[in-house]
């Protein structure tokens, strides 16, 4: 069996690309001035023990400091500020001599929160490090595109002139949408020249999420899986490959995905279904029950059904191993750093590897002594 690095080409981490799209809102000058003003309010408020004490007594909450290196920090500090807006306004009027936010600025803050709030759970879900994540990418990215459209529609119903301000979101949403298409178009748009079918294929391999794919993309995904099964696990010959597939395979010895080749090959019709194609057909015919959930880890399904789908499960587990974020290896390095502190700084390499393996899988080792 070939190694995973030989099977799959290099993929960019989705989270890193997504963050560049989210940060587009920070570049807008109109929003930047309002966010800066909100930061001053929070910073001044937090520096006052009296104001902080009164807010804590009134609400049981305190304002959250902003961390400029994290985009979701802006969301978190604005959301908390909006949550305790009325107590903050009252306490500021009594104790703090700084300009407060106008009603129009509070409205803009509310829509900044609404604009960003869908990106935060997507980031968290794609950063999971002990379950498959790639199958969520296509589903979530399309969801974010629809979210931007819904926010744009909601803003059209507001009369900003009554607050003596202009709508600052039109250009922001357009910039975020354009950036999302630029950095992740190969995931969302199957007409994109760089479209990568691994994302729809991994979605197809999730029993519930596969229903979110249009029939055209579902057929495209199943054909791509069939071609990858031949490429990775079978010895391709002139007899086993369609003519156009064999020609393109010879012209592309490195095995790099080529969209034109993929579309040409997917249009070929074979007279007899292969054992792999029969497994795909059986999988597609499986009913989706009430117990099946969007949040289910598809790896569990393929492990449990490996006997029923020996060929498809082998391919599925290889594809689903692709991470959507760098969180997992980063956490491994953090664990390694903590494990080598103090008395552990002279651990041999093989012992450190074993220790990290135990620490990262502690839920399966209840008697493990730290």
- Residue 183 near residue 115 (C-beta atoms within 8 A): no
Q: Where is pLDDT greater, at 330 or 249?
A: 330
pLDDT score of 163 more than 90: no
Structural domain includes residue 196? no
Q: Among 85-99, 118-132, 197-211, 228-242, which stretch is predicted with the lowest mean pLDDT?
A: 228-242
Indicate whether 45 and 158 sit together in one domain: yes
Indicate whether 274 and 353 sit together in one domain: no
DSSP-based three-state secondary structure for 200: helix
Nearest to 182, CA basis, from 319, 27, 324, 12: 12
First to last CA, the chain: 37
Indicate whether 356 and 280 sit together in one domain: no
Indicate whether 46 and 184 sit together in one domain: yes
pLDDT number for residue 369? 61
- Long-range contacts at 148-153 (CB < 8 A, ≥ 24 apart): 148/115, 148/173, 148/176, 148/177, 148/180, 151/111, 151/114, 151/115
Indicate whether 334 and 315 sit together in one domain: no
Number of compact structural domains in the chain: 3
What's the rounded Cα separation, in Å, for the pair 8 and 198? 9
pLDDT number for residue 263? 54
pLDDT number for residue 269? 47
What's the rounded Cα separation, in Å, for the pair 189 and 194? 9
Indicate whether 278 and 352 sit together in one domain: no
Indicate whether 124 and 241 sit together in one domain: no
To which residue do tokens 């029993």 refer?
207
pTM, to two decimals: 0.79
Mean pLDDT of the chain: 84
Share of the chain residues as helix, strand and coil, in percent rounded to the nearest 5: 65, 0, 35
Structural domain includes residue 78? yes
Q: Where is pLDDT greater, at 92 or 13?
A: 92
Structural domain includes residue 115? yes
Q: Could you list the residue range(s) of the whole structural domain that residue 309 is in?
A: 213-294+305-319
What's the rounded Cα separation, in Å, for the pair 263 and 253? 18
């Amino acid at each position: 069996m070939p190694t995973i690095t030989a099977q799959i080409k290099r993929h960019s981490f989705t989270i890193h690309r997504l963050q560049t799209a989210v940060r587009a809102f920070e570049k807008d000058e109109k929003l930047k001035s309002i966010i800066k003003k909100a930061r001053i309010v929070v910073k001044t408020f937090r520096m006052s023990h009296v104001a902080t004490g009164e807010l804590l007594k009134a609400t049981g909450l305190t304002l959250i400091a902003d961390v400029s290196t994290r985009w979701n920090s802006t969301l978190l500090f604005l959301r908390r500020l909006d949550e305790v807006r009325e107590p903050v306004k009252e306490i500021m009027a009594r104790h703090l001599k700084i300009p407060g936010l106008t009603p129009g600025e509070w409205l803009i803050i509310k829509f900044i929160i609404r604009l960003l709030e869908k990106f935060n759970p997507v980031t968290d879900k794609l950063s999971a490090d002990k379950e498959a994540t790639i199958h969520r990418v296509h589903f979530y990215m399309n969801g974010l595109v629809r979210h931007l459209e819904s926010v744009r529609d909601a803003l059209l119903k507001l009369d900003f002139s009554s607050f003596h301000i202009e709508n600052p979101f039109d250009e922001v949403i357009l910039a975020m949408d354009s950036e999302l298409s630029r950095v992740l178009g190969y995931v969302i748009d199957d007409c994109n020249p760089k479209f990568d079918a691994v994302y729809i294929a991994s979605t197809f391999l999730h029993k519930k999420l596969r229903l979110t794919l249009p029939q055209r993309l579902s057929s495209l995904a199943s054909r791509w899986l069939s071609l990858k099964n031949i490429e990775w696990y079978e010895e391709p010959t002139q007899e086993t490959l369609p003519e156009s597939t064999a020609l393109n395979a010879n012209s592309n010895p490195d095995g790099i995905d080529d969209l034109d080749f993929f579309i040409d090959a997917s249009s070929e019709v074979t007279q007899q279904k292969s054992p792999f194609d029969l497994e795909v057909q059986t999988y597609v015919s499986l009913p989706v029950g009430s117990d099946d959930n969007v949040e289910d880890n598809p790896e569990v399904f393929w492990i449990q059904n490996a006997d029923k789908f020996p060929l498809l499960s082998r391919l599925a587990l290889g594809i689903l191993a692709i991470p959507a974020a760098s969180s997992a290896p980063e956490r491994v390095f953090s664990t390694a750093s903590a494990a080598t502190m103090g008395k552990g700084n002279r651990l041999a390499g093989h012992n450190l590897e074993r220790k990290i393996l135990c620490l990262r899988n502690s839920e399966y080792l209840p008697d493990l002594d730290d």
